[in-house]
């Protein structure tokens, strides 16, 4: 009986810790500076960030801490303001590995003067390393990236290099 209780406790604590990794990821992505270091710290050493789906950008793929720092530090100038909202979380844990899915919505400023709405989903893998849950593979799937004054019906996807 005690083993079952400890397993349930580990499951609950793991799910809560994974949710907090995603909260920390969103907060780091919204930082005004030094985004890369804060985001890379949430990933395993071999962790991967990938943009998928019809509006995905394969050129933004990043694997490993150095590549993640470079990728996200470039976002400081590219999107000087961002406010991410995360919802509809669903986490599954199996030992020291887990998966999680979320929906997200983002209000941001592109290149200093273009306000945008962005929405999509995450389908992520996590791994527990030395007792800490970290992202091992983040997949972001954008549904739309649109100027806020035009909306996703008129402009479903705007490129944001």
User: Where along the chain do its domains lie?
Assistant: 2-154
The arithmetic mean of pLDDT across residues 21-32, rounded, is 97
* pLDDT at residue 76 in the model: 86
- pLDDT at residue 112 greater than cutoff 90: no
Least confident range from 10-24, 67-81, 92-106: namely 67-81
pLDDT bucket at 77, cuts 50 / 70 / 90: confident
Nearest residue to 118 (alpha-carbon basis) of 86, 74, 71, 70? 86
2-154 CATH: 3.10.450.50
């Amino acid at each position: 009986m005690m083993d079952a209780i400890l397993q349930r406790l580990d499951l609950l604590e793991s799910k809560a810790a994974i949710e907090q990794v995603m909260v920390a990821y969103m907060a780091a992505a919204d930082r005004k500076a030094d985004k890369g270091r804060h985001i890379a710290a949430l990933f395993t050493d071999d962790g991967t960030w990938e943009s998928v789906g019809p509006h995905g950008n394969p050129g933004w793929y990043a694997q490993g801490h150095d590549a993640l720092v470079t990728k996200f530090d470039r976002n400081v100038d590219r999107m000087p303001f961002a406010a991410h909202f995360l919802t509809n979380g669903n986490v599954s844990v199996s030992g020291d590995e887990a998966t999680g899915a979320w929906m997200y919505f983002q209000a941001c400023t592109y290149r200093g003067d273009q306000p945008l709405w962005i929405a999509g989903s995450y389908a992520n893998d996590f791994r527990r390393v030395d007792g800490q849950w970290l992202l091992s593979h983040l997949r972001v799937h954008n549904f739309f990236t649109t100027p806020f004054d035009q909306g996703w019906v008129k402009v479903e996807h705007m490129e944001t290099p």
